[in-house]
Amino acid sequence: MWIWRAKRCSNDGLHEKTKMSELNKLFKERKKNKKSSFIGFVTSGDPNYKSSKEIMKEMTKYCQVIEAGVSFNTSTSDSPIIMEANDRAIKSGMNMSKTFKLINEVKKETKTDTPFVLMTYLNPIIVYGIKKFIRSCQKTGIAGVIIVDASLNSPEEKFIINGLTKKNIGYIKIISPTNSEKFIQSSIKNCKNSWIYITSYYGLTGSKNVNIQNVRKLVKIVRKYSKDIPIGVGFGIKTSKQIKDVSKYADATIVGSAIVNKIKEGTENGKYGRNLATFIGSYLKKLTK
Amino acid sequence: MKIPPFKEINPPDKFGYWTNKKTGEKFGGQYISSLLVPNLKRVEDGFFKAMKDKKFLKELEEDLNTFIGVQTPIHFSKTLTELAGGEKKIGKIYLKRTDLHTNHSHKPISAYACCKLAKYLGFKKILTETGAFQNGRAVASACASLGLKLDIYVGANDAKKLAINKDISALHGARIIEVHDSTKSLLPAMAAALRAFQSEPDSMYVVGSVAGPMPYPLMVRTFASVIGRITKKQFKNLVGKDPSTLFAVCGGGSNFSAIAYPYYKSKKPDLYAVESAGDGIKTGRHGSTIGGGGKMGILLGMQSKVLLNGENVAESFTAASGLDFSSIGPEVAYMHSIGRVKFLTTTDLQAKKTFMMMARKHGLICAIEACYVIFAAIKEIRKRKNPRENHLIHLCGSGEPNVAQMMDFMKKQK
C-alpha cells in the first residue's frame, strides 16, 4: 500500500514537471518556426448556437487559438459591436453550460487540436460555480481563461488561478498602455501557462486602429520583467497588414471586433449556419494571408 | 447650523470590502478591467486628498448650504401620526424634508460634491448615467454651475419617456446619449457610462448611487451623509434624543445611506430600508433586491446582492424610476447581512395610493419613491404600538417629475 502510494505520488510529480500547457506548447513551437499566431475572437452562440458552431469549426482552419466570449448582459468593458453580439447570443439562449457544450462539439467534429480560450466576466462564473467552472474547463479541454473584471486583489481571482493552474489550464491577464509598471509586473505574475494580453490603445475593443507605438513600448516593459512570457496583442487590428506589423513585436495577434462585425454583416444579409460560416471563412482567409 | 464634520465609522478594508465576519460574505471591491485601473486610482487618491483638504471642504460646505440648500427642516407630521393611530398609540411621526433641496431630491448633494471633486482634480468633463433623470438633472445642474461638460448615458427605453427632468438636464446643456444595449434601461446605461470612462481618461465618472467599483460606494455615501449628519443633530435639538425608528427608501441605496449612515454603529434608531415590490414580489415583476431574494453577484465593478436571470443580471420593474435597479449598494447589503437594517417592501399600487393620500390630506406632492417608504413606515409603526416612540421618515424628494404619471393614475381611479 505504502509503496503504491509513493509510486503514484512520484509519477504525479514527474507528470507535472514535464507536462507543458497547451498554450505554452503552441507558442514554443510557433516561435521555433519563427511564426506568429493568429487568435480569433467570437462570442459563443452569436448569432445562435448552430451558426456559432459552424463559424467556430470554420475558424479552426485559420486560427491557431480561438477565443470564445461568454455572453454577459452587463459587460463593463466591451465595445458596442461585442455588446450587440452578447445580446444576440443571450436572446438565442446561450449560457455558460451551452458554451462548454458548443466548444466540446466543435472540438469533436473538427478533430483539430486548436486550443480554445474562454473570455468572460466573473458574474457568469460565480453563478455557474467556480469549482464547477474549473471542472468544466478541464473536461472540455479549455486551454486558457480570460476574466475581464477579475482584479488583481480579488479573492476570486486567486481562487480561480489556483484551480486552473492545478489542472494545467492557462490564465491570461490584460494590460493596457496606461497601466503602471508595478501593475504590469503583478499582472505578469498572475498570468499562468499562457500569454499576456496587451491592448494596443486605451479604450474599448475595436473602437480605434491598432497603435504600434504603444505595442512597442509595452512589449519593452513586459520583457523587462519576463524574458519568455508569450505576448498577444489585441484591440484595433482589422487588416492583414496590421497583423503583419504587430507580428514583428508579438507572439500573437488577436482579432475580435472585426470578425464579430462580419458576423453582424452576414446575418443582416440573411446568412446563417454553414452559409454564414463560409462567409466568415473567406474573410479570415484574406485576413490571415 | 454648521454641517457636522464627516467621521468614518464603517470603513471598508484596504481592498474596498465590507466583510460579514460570521458568513464570510464580502461586499464591494473593485471588479474592473485593467484599462480602468488608472482612472479609478486617480479618483480614489483624489477623493482621500480632498477629504483632508480644509479649503476644499470649507468651499463645499458653503456651496451645499447656499447653492443646494441642505439645511432643510424636520417636520412633525400630525397627519401621518393620526393616520397611524394617534400620538397616544404610536408616538410621533416626523418627516425629513429633503424634497426642499435645489433640484428636489437627495441626489444633488453627492452629484454636486463629486463634480466639485472632479474640478478640484482637474477633470474637464463628467460622465454619468441616469434612469429617470433625477441623477441626470442633479449632475447637469452641478456641471452647469461649475463649468464642466457633461455626457449623460440613458437607456433608450427610459429616454423615450417624457420627463421634465430630462428637459431640465438638456436646458442645463448636458449631452444625452441613448444606450441601446440589453434591457435599454438604467443597468446597461451604467455599464455604458463605465465603458465610456474607459475610453475618456480626461473625464470623470460620477455614479448616481452608492454602487459601482470602489471608491464610488464609499465616496457617494461619504458626500451624501451630509443629510444624516444634519438630521442627527437637528433631531436631537428638536426632540432631545435620537429617533426610535428611521425609514428610508432603497433602490441602489444612496437615499438610505444618506440619512442612515451616522446611525450605523449606534443601537438606536431601528433602521428600515424600503424596496419597491412592483406588481408584487410573487409576480416576479419587482425591483426588490433583498425582498425578492437577490443572490451574491458581481456587476458594475462591485460584489453585492443582485437579482439574477440565469448568469445575467435580471431586469427590475417598478413604477418608481429611482428604485429601478436590480442590485443594491455593497455597504447597505453588508448592513443588512449583519442584521443592522431591516428591509420592507411596498407595491407600486400601494405607493401610488399613498401619493394621492399625501397630496389630498397632507398637502404635499411627494416623489413617488418617498411614497413607498411612507406606506411601509405607517404599517410598521402601527405594529410597534409604542406611544413613547419618535419615528423619522426620509421624505427624499418632490413629486413634481411624477405629475404626469399620477394624473394618469388619478383619471384611471375615477
Domain around A87: 32-287
Chain B nearest C-alpha distance from A129 (Å): 10
CATH number of the domain to which A248 belongs:
3.20.20.70
Q: Which residue of A has its CA nearest to B326?
A: A74
Dmax (CA) for chain B in angstroms is 60
Q: What is the pLDDT of residue B368?
A: 96
Residues 6+ apart with CB under 8 A from B52: none
Q: What is the pLDDT of residue A14?
A: 41
Contact at CB, B31 and A151, closer than 8 angstroms? yes
The 3-state secondary structure of chain A, one letter per residue: CHHHHHHHHHHHHHHHHHCCCHHHHHHHHHHHCCCCEEEEEEECCCCCHHHHHHHHHHHCCCCCEEEEECCCCCCCCCCHHHHHHHHHHHHCCCCHHHHHHHHHHHHHHHCCCCCEEEEECHHHHHHHCHHHHHHHHHHHCCCEEEECCCCCCCHHHHHHHHHHHHCCCEEEEEECCCCCHHHHHHHHHHCECCCEEEECCCCCCCCCCCCHHHHHHHHHHHHHHCCCCCEEEECCCCCHHHHHHHHCCCCEEEECHHHHHHHHHHHHCCCCHHHHHHHHHHHHHHHCC
Helix axes A273-287, A240-247, angle to 10 degrees: 50
Chain B residues touching residue A127 (CB < 8 angstroms): 295, 297, 308, 310-311
Contact at CB, A123 and B297, closer than 8 angstroms? yes
Q: Where in chain B is the domain with CATH 3.40.50.1100?
A: 29-54+106-221, 68-104+225-413
Chain B residues 13-72 with a CB less than 8 Å from chain A: 15, 26, 29-38
Three-state DSSP state, B149:
strand
Chain B residues touching residue A123 (CB < 8 angstroms): 297-299, 306, 311-313
Chain A nearest C-alpha distance from B314 (Å): 9
Residues 6+ apart with CB under 8 A from B406: B352, B355, B356, B359, B368, B399
- Residues B360-398 have pLDDT tens digits of 999 999 999 999 999 999 999 999 999 999 999 999 999
Contact at CB, A83 and B182, closer than 8 angstroms? yes
Contact at CB, A74 and B296, closer than 8 angstroms? no
The C-alpha angle with vertex B135 and arms to B130 and B136, in degrees rounded to 5, equals 65
Q: What is the pLDDT of residue B162?
A: 65
Contact at CB, A76 and B300, closer than 8 angstroms? yes
Which cell numbers in the block locate residue B252?
441602489
Most A-contacting residue of B17, B195, B313 (CB-CB within 10 A), to test interface: B195
Catalytic site residue from A67, A84, A157, A251: A67
Three-state DSSP state, B95:
strand
> What is the ipTM metric for this complex?
0.93
Contact at CB, A179 and B38, closer than 8 angstroms? yes
**Bridge partner list, A66:** A40, A116
Chain B nearest C-alpha distance from A90 (Å): 9
By Cβ distance, the residue of A73, A76, A183 closest to B37 is: A183
Asked if A87 is an active-site residue, the reply is no
**Bridge partner list, B305:** B296
Q: What is the pLDDT of residue A62?
A: 97
pLDDT tens for each residue of chain B, 414 residues long: 899 999 999 999 999 999 999 999 999 999 999 999 999 999 999 999 999 999 999 999 999 999 999 999 999 999 999 999 999 999 999 999 999 999 999 999 999 999 999 999 999 999 999 987 899 999 999 999 999 999 999 998 888 876 899 999 999 999 999 998 888 888 889 989 999 999 898 999 999 999 999 999 999 999 999 999 999 999 999 999 999 999 999 999 999 999 999 999 999 999 999 999 999 999 999 999 999 999 999 999 999 999 999 999 999 999 998 899 999 999 999 999 999 999 999 999 999 999 999 999 999 999 999 999 999 999 999 999 999 999 999 999 999 999 999 999 999 987
By Cβ distance, the residue of B32, B33, B297 closest to A126 is: B297
Chain A nearest C-alpha distance from B219 (Å): 20
Fold of B29-54+106-221: Rossmann fold (3.40.50)
Euclidean distance between CA atoms B140 and B123, whole angstroms: 15
By Cβ distance, the residue of A80, A127, A199 closest to B311 is: A127
CA distances in angstroms from B114 to B4, B10, B231, listed in the order given: 19, 20, 21
Q: What is the dihedral of CA B48, B52, B55, B56, to 10 degrees?
A: 20
Q: Are A284 and A64 in contact (CB under 8 A)?
A: no
For B68-104+225-413, give the CATH class: alpha beta
Contact at CB, A73 and B36, closer than 8 angstroms? no
- Number of residues that this document lists for chain A: 289
In chain A, the number of structural domains is 1
By Cβ distance, the residue of A74, A153, A179 closest to B34 is: A179
Residue that has been written with the C-alpha cell 484599462 in this structure: B35
Asked if A109 is an active-site residue, the reply is no
Chain B nearest C-alpha distance from A14 (Å): 36
Catalytic site residue from A22, A46, A78, A251: A78
Chain B residues touching residue A147 (CB < 8 angstroms): none
CA distances in angstroms from B304 to B97, B254, B344, listed in the order given: 30, 15, 18
Q: Which residue of B has its CA nearest to A71?
A: B312
Q: Are A77 and A149 in contact (CB under 8 A)?
A: yes
The C-alpha angle with vertex B72 and arms to B67 and B76, in degrees rounded to 5, equals 170
Contact at CB, A121 and B298, closer than 8 angstroms? yes
The C-alpha angle with vertex B109 and arms to B103 and B115, in degrees rounded to 5, equals 100
Q: What is the dihedral of CA B128, B133, B139, B144, to 10 degrees?
A: 120
Asked whether residue A249 is domain-assigned, the answer is: yes
Q: Is B403 on the interface with A (CB under 8 A)?
A: no
By Cβ distance, the residue of B298, B308, B311 closest to A149 is: B298
Q: Are B224 and B109 in contact (CB under 8 A)?
A: yes
pLDDT tens for each residue of chain A, 289 residues long: 444 444 444 444 444 445 789 999 999 999 999 999 999 999 999 999 999 999 999 999 999 999 999 999 998 888 889 999 999 999 999 999 999 999 999 999 998 899 999 999 999 999 999 999 999 999 999 999 999 999 998 999 999 999 999 999 999 999 999 999 999 999 999 999 999 999 999 888 877 889 999 999 999 999 999 999 999 999 999 999 999 999 999 999 999 999 999 999 999 999 999 999 999 999 999 999 8
Chain A nearest C-alpha distance from B69 (Å): 35
Chain B residues touching residue A153 (CB < 8 angstroms): 15, 29-30
Chain B residues touching residue A148 (CB < 8 angstroms): 33
